[in-house]
């Protein structure tokens, strides 16, 4: 089997590439290295540095065609979506449209779309199931909602001969080894760990009482692998989270303590709450359990310890 992974030099895409290669798949990767790194690309993958906003780049990245497309390339930062909304739209929405079109040109069997809990915004009730109305509160969330909607709407087109099924996993806050320690617009856990390793002050946006559902990378990769050729996972979004709500304060205290610090022994700068920041989120993952036979297995404490252990081995 042949797969194209967009954003395959990033955390999730590169680990999926490794799993597919281990199963003797041929893997093509396209990444513009805006956040991904060549060092993440596994040996054996065919790597093309290019941008999903450019259809020619996409075509060049799959010289032998593909049977599956995993679409992970995106502008992922809420902060940057406010700084440059157009880039957010061109990458997340128009780039996704280019990826869908490529899928139809190649006639792939299934598309995998990296969706996000950002679609839920600030829901009235927690945990959120896939039936919870989507109402993003950030520019980023709006672009990710449009991208997921386009993916699904193409899969349900009546005017194309062979619609391509889509699996969209709405990932909650993914963290773990290999998440960048140099990009300040990465997931918050890696940002805090990198701050500590570099002995820089930590920035806390808001009062820290906002919550997230942190999900360990290995669990996330398992979920994607379980969705390959899985007809039950076609054309419907599926939540992938740990079903646990943890406040940023709690997470920060846990990281500080792993480094032998407390709030009073380490510099913490409090800044105003970010635009579009979600207040509280927690995944209901019963659908993933039912359709993918998937459950998160790595508890937060263990995942955090493994991530810090890995981060200590890195040069920052
Ligand atoms: C994150 C991802 C997003 C993904 C979503 C669900 C990033 C940058 N964001 O969104 O792409 O779709 O999970 O998987 O990878 N914070 C601080 N100090 C910091 C950094 C962050 O206090 O230095 C706070 C933020 O204000 C926020 C929380 O930590 O309240 C989480 O932030 P972050 O990890 O950046 O992103 P999410 O918006 O949760």
pLDDT of residue 282: 98
| Residue among 47, 48, 120, 140 flagged as catalytic | 140
- Best residue for ligand 1 mutational test, from 12, 123, 179, 188 (most atoms within 8 Å of Cβ): 188
pLDDT of residue 249: 98
State the average pLDDT over residues 42-61: 98
Contact residues for 57 (Cβ-Cβ < 8 A; gap 6+): 30, 48, 50, 51
What lines the ligand 1 site, CB under 6 Å? 76-78, 116-118, 171-174, 185-188, 191, 203-205, 210, 212, 248, 274, 277
Reported as a single tens digit per residue, the pLDDT across 94-104 is 999 999 999 99
For residue 203, list its beta bridge partners. 269
CA distance 191 to 125: 29
185 is catalytic: no
Using CA of residue 235, residue 237, residue 241, residue 244, what is the dihedral sign?
negative
Verdict on whether the full-model pTM lies above 0.75: yes
Reported as a single tens digit per residue, the pLDDT across 159-192 is 999 999 999 999 999 999 999 999 999 999 999 9
CA distance 144 to 128: 17
Extract the tokens encoding 116. Answer: 């996000």
- SS percent in the chain: helix, strand, coil, step 5: 40, 20, 40
CA distance 177 to 17: 16
Reported as a single tens digit per residue, the pLDDT across 262-294 is 999 999 999 999 999 999 999 999 999 999 999
State the average pLDDT over residues 84-101: 98
State in Å: Cα 200 to ligand 1 middle: 19
SS3 labels along 174-201? EECCCCCCCCCCCCHHHHHHHHHHHCCC
pLDDT of residue 77: 97
């Amino acid at each position: 089997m042949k797969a194209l992974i967009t954003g395959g030099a990033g955390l999730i895409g590169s680990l999926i590439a490794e799993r597919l290669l281990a199963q003797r798949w041929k893997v093509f990767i396209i990444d513009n290295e805006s956040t991904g790194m060549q060092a993440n690309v596994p040996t054996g993958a065919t790597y093309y540095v290019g941008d999903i906003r450019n259809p020619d780049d996409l075509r060049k990245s799959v010289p032998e065609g593909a049977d599956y497309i995993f679409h992970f390339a995106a502008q992922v930062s809420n902060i940057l979506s406010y700084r440059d909304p157009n880039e957010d739209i061109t990458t997340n929405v128009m780039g996704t449209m280019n990826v869908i079109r490529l899928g139809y040109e190649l006639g792939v069997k299934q598309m995998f779309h990296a969706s996000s809990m950002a679609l839920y915004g600030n829901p009235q009730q927690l945990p959120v199931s896939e039936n919870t109305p989507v109402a993003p509160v950030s520019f980023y969330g709006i672009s990710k909602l449009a991208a997921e909607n386009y993916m699904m709407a193409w899969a349900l087109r009546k005017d194309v001969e062979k619609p391509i099924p889509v699996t969209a996993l709405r990932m909650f806050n993914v963290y773990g080894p290999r998440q960048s320690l140099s990009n300040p617009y990465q997931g918050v856990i890696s940002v805090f760990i990198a701050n500590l390793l570099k002995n820089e002050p930590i920035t806390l946006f808001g009062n820290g009482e906002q919550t997230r559902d942190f999900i360990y990378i290995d669990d996330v990769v398992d979920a994607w692998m379980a969705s390959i050729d899985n007809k039950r996972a076609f054309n419907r979004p599926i939540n992938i989270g740990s079903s646990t709500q943890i406040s940023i304060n709690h997470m920060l205290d846990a990281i500080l303590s792993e480094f032998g610090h407390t709030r009073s022994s380490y510099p913490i700068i409090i800044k105003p709450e970010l635009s579009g920041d979600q207040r509280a989120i927690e995944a209901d993952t019963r659908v993933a359990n039912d359709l993918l036979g998937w459950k998160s297995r790595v508890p937060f404490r263990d995942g955090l310890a493994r991530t810090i252990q890995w981060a200590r081995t890195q040069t920052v």
